[in-house]
Structure 1
């Protein structure tokens, strides 16, 4: 099997860590990293994706691009997202066209469907959440309803990617992945968000009575109402690193898609996103299901 040359933009965030941990050592891929800042452990083409001339050389000789770079704050203002998410995505597509790179995996987000969660949460996080869909599942054909400027830029990204995929030239294949909750290795489990809040609290105690300002740190105690809310949500939206890496491989191996949209989420019983389309088209078979967890890893509570 020929080696695929794969450029990854924004490789050092939570989603990119899945590549570093699960795909980097595989012989069938040769990865190149493009990031706006350097990394001590990985050779990096340092450039801002909003600067076309600066990023353009990184695309030469590539077979595929995994475009993760973005301003990913769901509550960001428009001024914060327009350059990295709108101009940056256009620049990636233009660079691919100029360099003749055939395959793009575009990191969209579950936030393009964010208003569905806003309208139905927290009951949405229950496995038996009642709805006319029985069970409640959003599909790739469901109307997008972003919940902020970040989600709106991802809808834009999906659509401009579709435009380029339908044109003559590169890219010829585009996979828009609506990524759910990928976490760093330390918190890569369904209790990850809840345990991260506990860890933040322990790091920000302000007196000997162990009192801290939760509003400033986003922290809580284990067993609290806030803790359980984080568990419930992540049990529905968790995307394990190995499942996300598997989804990327499914896209890199596929030769059938011109443009399509898929939900990147683990096989959680309480998920509100459908993965049947990804299974049928890409052969996606997630290994993880958050419902199989009834407590955090032992080392998280020691």
Structure 2
């Protein structure tokens, strides 16, 4: 099997860390990174995705692109998402097309469906709640960030239908991928315990209501709410990397949309479509955990 040359944009966020931990170093891939900053330990093309001429050379000779770069603040204003998420996604698509790249994997977001959570939470986090969204469910973005990701999905779909270039395109509606330290269904709750009163909300913090900001203690109402939510939305690093691997190895999809979420019993996003089309085999289920890994007595099924 020949080595596949893959460009990753925005490889140093949470989703990018998952790929660095689980795919980089695999013999079947040769990775190049595109980022706004230099990273001497990796082969990195330094450019901003909003600048087409600056990013274009990075696409030459690539077999596939995984486009992760974005403004990831779910509460961002429209002006904050235009350049990185709308112009940037178009530039990546155009550069891939102009360079003859065969595959494009686009990092969309569960925020494309965000209003469902606003309408149904917190009961939605229970295992028996009767809601399961699939790739054909009506999108309902909950803000400009989610709307910008829906734009990305639609422009990929349009190019697939009109130009068939790149030949294969995949939109992954990513749920909650976390850094290695918090890569478990208690991660968000434990992050609140760890960060203390001096914490300022960062771009990668998911906030569905203001009660989720700040810090809290184990066992508090906020802690337990965060645990319930992440048990439903958790996408483990290894499951996310596996799903991207499935896309890169697939030879049949022209354009399709998939939910990037682990096989959590309380999830409200469908995984059957990814299993049937891509051969996705998630290994993790947040509902199997009964405590964070650093707490004595906590356990999970592997």
Partner of 1:186: 181
Contact 1:125 1:271 in 2 (8 A): yes
Partner of 2:238: 242
Contact 1:200 1:217 in 2 (8 A): no
Partner of 2:51: 51
| Residues 1:281 and 2:277 are matched in the alignment | yes
State the alpha-carbon separation in 1 of the partners of residues 212 and 173 from structure 2: 30
The 3-state SS of whatever aligns with 1:298 is coil
Larger radius of gyration: 1
Contact 1:201 1:221 in 2 (8 A): no
Partner of 1:29: 29
State the TM-score, normalized to the length of structure 2: 0.92
The 3-state SS of whatever aligns with 1:166 is helix
The 3-state SS of whatever aligns with 2:108 is strand
Partner of 2:202: none
Contact 1:97 1:169 in 2 (8 A): no
What are the ranges of 5 or more consecutive residues in structure 2 without an aligned counterpart?
Answer: 200-209
Deviation at 1:168, TM superposition (A): 3.3
What are the ranges of 5 or more consecutive residues in structure 1 without an aligned counterpart?
Answer: 205-213
State the alpha-carbon separation in 1 of the partners of residues 21 and 87 from structure 2: 29
Deviation at 1:300, TM superposition (A): 9.1
Partner of 1:137: 132
Partner of 1:94: 94
* Deviation string, structure 1 residues 167-189 (Cα, Å, up to 9, x no partner): 33521100000000000000000
Deviation at 1:41, TM superposition (A): 2.8
| Residues 1:125 and 2:125 are matched in the alignment | yes
Contact 2:32 2:42 in 1 (8 A): no
State the alpha-carbon separation in 2 of the partners of residues 177 and 19 from structure 1: 14
Please identify runs of 4+ aligned residues in structure 1 that moved more than 3 A: 214-217, 299-302
State the alpha-carbon separation in 1 of the partners of residues 104 and 160 from structure 2: 9
Query: What are the equivalent positions in structure 2 for 1:194-233 lying under 5 Å apart?
Result: 194-201=189-196, 218-233=214-229
Deviation at 1:216, TM superposition (A): 11
* Deviation string, structure 1 residues 69-119 (Cα, Å, up to 9, x no partner): 000110000000000000000000110111000100000000000000000
Partner of 1:61: 61
Deviation at 1:165, TM superposition (A): 1.5
CA gap 1:148/1:180 in 2 versus in 1, 3 angstroms: same
* Deviation string, structure 1 residues 255-296 (Cα, Å, up to 9, x no partner): 110000000000000000011100000010100001110000
State the alpha-carbon separation in 2 of the partners of residues 280 and 217 from structure 1: 38
Partner of 2:162: 167
CA gap 1:54/1:299 in 2 versus in 1, 3 angstroms: farther
The total of aligned residue pairs comes to 288
State the alpha-carbon separation in 2 of the partners of residues 275 and 215 from structure 1: 30
State the TM-score, normalized to the length of structure 1: 0.92
| Residues 1:272 and 2:268 are matched in the alignment | yes
